[in-house]
Structure 1
């Protein structure tokens, strides 16, 4: 039965692809959200303050992205937004904003991507090859809007991330931690794709399935397609971004790791403090 379902998926892909015009293109809107865990040990952080902080941080991870695509390439970009500051009587003040300058270009035919990012006031242009994903095609199906979607999964190893701003740590402990290999954990990623839109692409860096990916569950990250327009009246322009310092993905990751360590050192409680600590886990 499972084999028959997968074969049906392939047949549907072939039939749909034959019907569509050569200049096939589209625009898909995705909503993203990420769960966060905040563990606090502080005499100054009561339950009400912790709840408020959780809500404000949660909102920062609720984003809307636009994927413009044709048969071979795509652009994935966050919608520009600017939220009014939220100020409470307890002193919290958060501004959530985005100018939409981050752009991910993918060419699934040539198997490369260009990721334009602005991080900590600096622009980067990350150029690298698309890594093949070893998807396992499942028989399970469901509808997302009007599209029949098939389930696919794969498993990968990811590092556990924990940002601990605690006065209990010291330079010796930090040095020992740097020498250790990061603790790894297995994670299964689930995707839902539709052969009715016959492109091997999807949101962010998810691709490689026989149809457009409409939904992703990757640990605490969820991405769901909310709207699709096929062959819009205005022609879609897909061009590689060009702004920023050119680096590889490995080089960019090393820069970000270094910046993260610098931030932890900057905001860690100084010696002689009252022992308050805040531990934040994001992602996973």
Structure 2
């Protein structure tokens, strides 16, 4: 039996149970984890401090998100958590998005609104959903009680090399104009036609069923809880706060601000007692 036939049978079997429900909606909880490999100059930090910082970094890369969805739209928001920890000795750690960030998708209109707080400023990114050229695979597995199918697609991503040992400022004027080196990355998704919505966490969508698991480079997203048609109906409304920009405008702003920050905080040669700032987005 081909993958397409299997999917069609499951969709037809579940469609009358869920999709025809007038107020069909659900709430899915996702756990996210991002692997990292950062080398820190031992002359700037002793072993005990490095170990403490790395443990805190691991915790910071483990987050919980809630996806509230219906047949046409969704809200994806980080679960409330305690303030980000800091380590003594001048090290400040900030990873990823703010807990107040909200990502709204309307898969029927093929648009999204991404409310972000970045570098102390609020942005409202509005743009069209880019179609994903998924390849439906024959592999299957269960995630909880749901039968899931595998899908993959390939995208080009910048090849980034981090060097935290460098203590020189960015002064090469040609660096700004240098073309980024790109590499291919295969993204893997596991989706279930038993929940017949073409949606998923963050920007992932476009499959014949809710996406329950994603592997995208260092990022892993796994659903560990789903409630279909909860007793308390959840309103799904697009966010409205922040300076409205397109995705390309936001990307240009972030590129400029990141360059300014690196130039400002990069320690001078021979300087002592440097403050180490680490910020890794995601």
TM-score of the superposed pair, with normalisation by structure 1: 0.89
Q: Which residue of structure 2 lines up, in the alignment, with residue 149 of structure 1? A: 148
Q: Does 1:208 align with 2:206?
A: yes
Q: Give unpaired runs (5+ residues) of structure 2.
A: none
Specify which of 231, 234, 237 is matched with residue 235 of structure 2.
237
Q: Which residue of structure 1 lines up, in the alignment, with residue 17 of structure 2? A: 19
3-state SS, counterpart of residue 194 of structure 2 = coil
Q: 5 Å matches for 1:1-284?
A: 1=1, 4-20=2-18, 21-83=21-83, 85=85, 100-165=99-164, 166-168=166-168, 170-172=170-172, 175-273=173-271
3-state SS, counterpart of residue 36 of structure 1 = coil
- In structure 2, do the counterparts of structure 1 residues 187 and 85 end up closer, same or farther at CA, with 3 Å as the change threshold? closer
Q: Is the 8 A contact 1:32 1:62 kept in 2?
A: yes
Distance across 1 between alignment mates of 2:85 and 2:280: 23
3-state SS, counterpart of residue 208 of structure 2 = coil
Q: Is the 8 A contact 2:197 2:210 kept in 1?
A: yes
Q: Is the 8 A contact 1:164 1:278 kept in 2?
A: no
- In structure 2, do the counterparts of structure 1 residues 96 and 112 end up closer, same or farther at CA, with 3 Å as the change threshold? closer
- Give 1:167 shift: 2.5
Query: How many equivalent pairs are there?
Result: 278
Distance across 2 between alignment mates of 1:81 and 1:97: 13
- In structure 2, do the counterparts of structure 1 residues 242 and 82 end up closer, same or farther at CA, with 3 Å as the change threshold? same
Q: Is the 8 A contact 1:6 1:138 kept in 2?
A: no
- Give 1:226 shift: 0.9
3-state SS, counterpart of residue 238 of structure 2 = coil
Distance across 1 between alignment mates of 2:123 and 2:83: 25
Distance across 2 between alignment mates of 1:22 and 1:31: 29
Q: Is the 8 A contact 1:81 1:97 kept in 2?
A: no
- Give 1:282 shift: 5.3
Please identify, of 76-85 and 247-256, the stretch whose mean Cα deviation from structure 2 is larger.
76-85
3-state SS, counterpart of residue 182 of structure 1 = coil
Distance across 2 between alignment mates of 1:283 and 1:6: 37
Q: Is the 8 A contact 1:60 1:96 kept in 2?
A: yes
Distance across 2 between alignment mates of 1:52 and 1:155: 36
TM-score of the superposed pair, with normalisation by structure 2: 0.89
Distance across 2 between alignment mates of 1:95 and 1:250: 24
Q: Is the 8 A contact 1:163 1:279 kept in 2?
A: no
Q: Is the 8 A contact 2:38 2:162 kept in 1?
A: no
The structure with the largest strand share of the pair is: 1
- Give 1:99 shift: 6.8
- Give 1:148 shift: 0.4
